[in-house]
């Protein structure tokens, strides 16, 4: 796990306190002024990510944005990338593992996600992430504090020791309703699966629609398993 000097950490904590009640676009503007062009963003094209991409398109469209394409994403997710490029003028880079899905499954005797989803996430998502951030100082995430107890412990600005980068969470204090109000009022393109019972979308083998009576918007992710995160936002560096 990467460490940071005490004075640098204090600076980030001060910035986080200062930006605690700032608007997401104000947080992004601070991050862009402070770190661009060594600022990047990872997106899975969720509603939060699409809202942030729209904000970035209005502030500094040259910020590098990438998607960790595991090879298992929904077709609707991949098509959304094209809509974002067309409507927002932002081309999202696709970062992929060394092996495509057929080669990966052939090398492992079949789908790894069926018996070891943590390993699948590590090899198809987390390891490519580590390669994608080489040369950058900070990254933007789209997590919200109200999504889970783990995410509730996050700060607006912090040091991500797992990746060795400053982590910027501009939507941390927004709610699900805030995000969708922004999307609707600004005509932001979004994944049509959200209109069909998928409030949170990951890879298709490990994502299902939320069922009647389920109130957790992430209930469809790794349903029936103890797993709740891919590992990008966990504090455990051993997952890498």
Residues annotated as part of the active site: 230
Decide if 84 contacts 57 (C-beta within 8 A). no
Kindly give the pairing relationship between strand 165-168 and strand 157-160.
Answer: antiparallel
Which residues of the chain form beta strands (DSSP E)? 39-42, 64-68, 93-95, 138-140, 157-160, 165-168
- For tokens 């090899």, the residue is 123
Strand-pairing partners, residue 140, are 41, 168
Sign of CA dihedral 126, 132, 135, 140: negative
C-alpha 217/C-alpha 225 separation (Å) is: 15
């Amino acid at each position: 796990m990467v460490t940071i000097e005490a004075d640098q950490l204090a600076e980030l904590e001060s910035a986080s306190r200062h930006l605690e009640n700032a608007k997401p676009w104000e947080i992004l503007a601070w991050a862009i002024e402070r770190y661009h062009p060594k600022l990047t963003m990872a997106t899975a094209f969720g509603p939060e990510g699409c809202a942030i991409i729209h904000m970035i398109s209005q502030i500094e469209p040259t910020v590098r944005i990438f998607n960790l394409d595991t090879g298992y994403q929904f077709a609707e997710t991949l098509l959304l990338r094209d809509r974002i490029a067309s409507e927002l003028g932002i081309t999202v880079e696709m970062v992929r593992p060394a092996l495509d899905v057929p080669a990966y499954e052939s090398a492992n005797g079949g789908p790894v996600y069926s018996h070891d989803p943590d390993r699948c996430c590590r090899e198809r998502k987390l390891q490519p992430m580590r390669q994608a951030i080489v040369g950058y100082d900070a990254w933007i995430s789209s997590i919200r504090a109200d999504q889970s107890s783990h995410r509730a412990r996050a700060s607006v600005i912090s040091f991500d020791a797992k990746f060795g980068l400053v982590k910027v969470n501009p939507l941390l204090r927004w709610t699900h309703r805030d995000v969708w109000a922004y999307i609707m009022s600004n005509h932001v393109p979004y994944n049509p699966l959200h209109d069909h019972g998928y409030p949170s979308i990951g890879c298709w083998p490990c994502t299902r629609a939320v069922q009647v009576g389920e109130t957790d918007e992430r209930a469809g992710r790794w349903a029936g398993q103890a797993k709740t995160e891919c590992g990008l936002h966990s504090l455990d560096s051993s997952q890498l």
